[in-house]
Amino acid sequence: MSRIAFVNGRYKRHSDAVVHIEDRGYQFSDGVYEVILVKNKNFIDEKKHFDRLDYSLTSLDISWPMKKNSMRQIMQELVYKNRFVTGIIYIQITRGVARRDHSFPKGIKPALVMTARRLPKSNDGDIKSGVSVITIKDIRWGRCDIKSVSLLPNVLGKQEARNQGAYEAWQIDNEGFVTEGTSTNAWIVSSHGVLITRGLSNQILSGITRLTLIKIATELNFKFEERQFSVDEAKSSREAFLTSSTSFLTPVTQIDGVVIGNGAVGLLSMRLLQAYHQYINSSEI
Amino acid sequence: MSRIAFVNGRYKRHSDAVVHIEDRGYQFSDGVYEVILVKNKNFIDEKKHFDRLDYSLTSLDISWPMKKNSMRQIMQELVYKNRFVTGIIYIQITRGVARRDHSFPKGIKPALVMTARRLPKSNDGDIKSGVSVITIKDIRWGRCDIKSVSLLPNVLGKQEARNQGAYEAWQIDNEGFVTEGTSTNAWIVSSHGVLITRGLSNQILSGITRLTLIKIATELNFKFEERQFSVDEAKSSREAFLTSSTSFLTPVTQIDGVVIGNGAVGLLSMRLLQAYHQYINSSEI
């Protein structure tokens, strides 16, 4: 299936979509990205994604390559050109192309790459049966709040999960608390029925689905605490799940081989997921 | 000045040297690199660089894109095509091109990019007068022994140094000890005349110039200790310097504005540099 990408001002066939070898994204991971869910041609939580993109760019002192409105038009065009109504938009912005030198080059334009595609695969199966996660030491850098392409530790963690037949790896800080998954946020429902996810800091990414679910849970009057939780607390929790723009809310039924709750997908998780689906389906541009 | 690069099997004009947007080096910083000094067409410490490249590749489970001998031939050809006798070769190997997914793709070829150029600029001035460094918190990930392109914290640290008018930033671990610079290793000569540099671990890169200088210092019967040193010890040291394949041995005469020794380039540093130059000039392929 041929796909169309947007690369530095031009629409390109996927096979011809290239960047220069001295793009600083390639040599220094000097760039940021976003993945936005497209549902019935609507960009879900678009404003939150743009706000986070702005935060990432500002944190790295990279300027916007174009106005948000222009970017939105390209996103719409990409959905049209790639002939889908439900899928994802991937946006990557790097500091641009410059002769290799660690420090910031002056007077160069940021590079912008955008791709669009149908969702990789349906995760209905994972959602119905739940997934297993392993735990690994969090060895990432100190600014995980920036959604940068400096993702090598995340790649290694995800692969470690795959090697062990798991869906995701939850990363553990030096104090034994769960930070987050390698590409998802981590949640539990305590034995007292309290929904819990870690608070924002430099150690985790402010997930958009995480933000939306907090809002939904509050509206549903769920008991909710934004705080850190240990691996032990997670293993003895009633329910657990992970969230991201592409995995929505995916129940976790095993952590390091320990069965969570009764091993089935939790009721609170399912209620949240239903409410999230309602939210997505009612979203309008 | 037009330059020639080697990109995935072909020699390309620099302006046409491109990689695919889904090269995992671009989207995940899933790759490694080496910078090799070329002096009178000799590749300085070639074996050590290849050994380290092998270590980095093995650590990430990326296979060699071709045999070392073939790579050496391309390096020679690049020096010839770019018409210099003294300069640097940059080698980057990534996991290759694949549909975006954190975990390792199966059955893809690693990507190989090589560039060659004259040394960016003479650093004779820096070596004669010395440079200043600042200290910053080391916020990098837990596998700095792998020479990966996941260099965003290094980029930010180097820029912070530039913003403060310094040449380099020395990174400080949680216990107050110097790990290394953002692209160089850190050394001091204690008040007792002992040459000191931090020992190898996951926290620093095994610099090739560092290895060579340890060998030289031992041959010269210098008092040498491979151990960690604090910022305070560095600031009260007699001499300080930094090393890398492109900055050789560059004296440090100020740390966070504190003058080191009497503010002039140290005698032991200069003896080491002379010996290093002899070593380079006597190297043969």
Q: How far is B124 from chain A (nearest CA, A)?
A: 18
What values do phi and psi take at A243, rounded to 5?
Answer: -135, 145
pLDDT digits (tens, 9 = 90+) for A30-73: 999 999 999 999 999 999 999 999 999 999 999 999 999 999 99
Please report the pLDDT score of residue B235 as a whole number: 98
pLDDT band at A119 (very low <50, low <70, confident <90, very high): confident
Q: How far is A129 from chain B (nearest CA, A)?
A: 22
The amino acid occupying position B122 is S
Residues A271-280, mean pLDDT to the nearest whole number: 95
The pairing of beta strand A239-244 with beta strand A248-255: antiparallel
Residue B121 has pLDDT above 70, yes or no: no
Please report the pLDDT score of residue A284 as a whole number: 59
pLDDT band at A127 (very low <50, low <70, confident <90, very high): confident
- What SS3 state is found at A166? coil
Residue B75 has pLDDT above 50, yes or no: yes
Question: Please, which contacts does B260-269 make with residues 24 or more away whose CB atoms are closer than 8 Å?
Answer: B260/B234, B260/B235, B261/B237, B263/B130, B264/B130, B265/B127, B265/B128, B265/B129, B265/B130, B266/B189, B266/B238, B266/B239, B266/B240, B266/B241, B267/B239, B268/B189, B268/B193, B268/B195, B268/B222, B268/B238, B268/B239, B269/B189, B269/B239, B269/B241
Q: Which of B109, B147, B215, B223 is catalytic?
A: B147
Residues A156-172, mean pLDDT to the nearest whole number: 98
The structure tokens 């209620």 sit at: A271
The amino acid occupying position B79 is V
C-alpha span between A284 and A245 (Å, rounded): 16
C-alpha span between A23 and A11 (Å, rounded): 18
Is residue B117 within 8 A of residue B82, CB to CB? The reply is: yes
Residues B258-277, mean pLDDT to the nearest whole number: 96
B147 assigned to active site: yes
Contact A21 B29 (CB under 8 A): no
Helix ranges (DSSP H) in A39-151: 46-60, 68-81, 124-129
Percent over 70 (pLDDT), chain A? 96
Residues A81-99, mean pLDDT to the nearest whole number: 96
Residues A222-236, mean pLDDT to the nearest whole number: 98
pLDDT digits (tens, 9 = 90+) for B31-62: 999 999 999 999 999 999 999 999 999 999 99
The amino acid occupying position B182 is T
Contacts of A3 (CB under 8 A, 6+ apart): A13, A14, A82, A115, A116, A117
* Rg of chain A, C-alpha, whole Å: 19
Of residues B285 and A140, more confidently modeled? A140
Contact A33 B27 (CB under 8 A): yes
Q: Which of A140, A123, A109, A115 is nearest to A245 (CA)?
A: A123
Contacts of A16 (CB under 8 A, 6+ apart): none
Contact A20 B23 (CB under 8 A): no
Least confident residue range of A249-253, A279-283, B46-50: A279-283
| Cross-chain CB nearest to B150 (options A17, A61, A152) | A152
Please report the pLDDT score of residue B174 as a whole number: 97
Angle at A236 between CA A234 and CA A237, to 5 degrees: 65
Please report the pLDDT score of residue B242 as a whole number: 98
Please give the order of strands across the beta sheet that includes A10-13: A10-13, A4-7, A111-118, A87-94, A31-39, A42-43
Of residues B74 and A124, more confidently modeled? B74
Residue B79 has pLDDT above 50, yes or no: yes
Residue A2 has pLDDT above 60, yes or no: no
Percent over 90 (pLDDT), chain B? 92
Percent over 90 (pLDDT), chain A? 92
Please report the pLDDT score of residue A285 as a whole number: 46
Residue of B3, B27, B28, B133 best to disrupt the A interface, most CBs of A under 10 A: B27
Q: How far is B109 from chain A (nearest CA, A)?
A: 16
Q: What end-to-end distance do the CA atoms of chain A give, in Å?
A: 28
Residues A129-134, mean pLDDT to the nearest whole number: 95
Tokens in use for A242?
């992970």
pLDDT band at B284 (very low <50, low <70, confident <90, very high): low
Contact B28 A149 (CB under 8 A): yes
A30 vs B contacts (CB less than 8 Å):
151-152, 155
Contact B92 A27 (CB under 8 A): yes
Contact A153 B142 (CB under 8 A): yes
C-alpha span between A249 and A278 (Å, rounded): 13
Please report the pLDDT score of residue A282 as a whole number: 87
Q: Does A164 touch chain B (CB under 8 A)?
A: no
In this predicted complex, what is the ipTM? Answer: 0.96
pLDDT digits (tens, 9 = 90+) for B177-205: 999 999 999 999 999 999 999 999 999 99
Instruction: Please provide the average confidence, as pLDDT, over all residues in chain A.
Output: 95
pLDDT band at B285 (very low <50, low <70, confident <90, very high): very low
